[in-house]
Structure 1
């Protein structure tokens, strides 16, 4: 068995009418402690990582694909009704709404099974059908394998997003899909409870 990195927390996917698309990771537990990061794709396709430490930035950038990496202060606060993110040139105030039908189905799966690599490898094709662009298993950078174990999913119902001090537009689908790795987030803005596992070698 090779090296294993586990990240436990939430991922939010938020799109705007200007074409700015963001994927926010709020990690309560990780190899780098509790932290937040933002993967951002501009309308031009330019992919940017905003990370709070060089150590976290190096690992994320070696697992996903970016055109630019910035290490700066990233803070995120999440509760049952709101996600707030401040990350240098980016600010997000998003409303968290009701659990989705898929979220209700995910909660029916025992969490120990829902995050197991064999289960995630088996259900990955189904995930792509229920949430176009999303996968639960695939290959990442540097020959690594990656698994996304979802256990809950809520709609994001509103968002005020500013980029470099300017309004990025109204809340919109994450289209086209982001291209940081093998998987995008669901097209409809959402907040997922997730356990991400990155492996070198076999699980």
Structure 2
């Protein structure tokens, strides 16, 4: 004896069960949602600047002031702003020493040049330095003291040279002290 009803496709049955389950879960979620939702809090786009130079380490130490461009944020700027007590003068001194070592490349072999820089660099940058040929360094002298901008967890430095601007990112190390983490070059125009 054979049945006269159509055969059920297992894929269609699974799809139907999945759709029903999703619909039930959606209805349960809608019915149990709180009556009022809390608006999301967003972090401000905070920036702060401080300037210090190796020639005048105290310059800018009190000039750090966070600014925010978003009015809907948690009302504690200290969570997002650079540390106003950071040793920006220490960062300026390290940036100056690094820039002077970087421009002192003429007549140096790659190992000697990289070793001078490694002492002032984070492990990440120190690992990349031995692969750089000092002969390709475009600058020969630092022409002015670094200008620094405090950032969250560090500082950005711009150091003028005879051939352009050396840009460094410095990170304040745990326990004190600063290390150069990245470098970039902007040729003179």
TM-score, normalising length from structure 1? Answer: 0.24
Question: Larger Cα Rg: Structure 1 or Structure 2?
Answer: 2
TM-score, normalising length from structure 2? Answer: 0.25
Task: Name the one with the larger strand percent.
Answer: 1
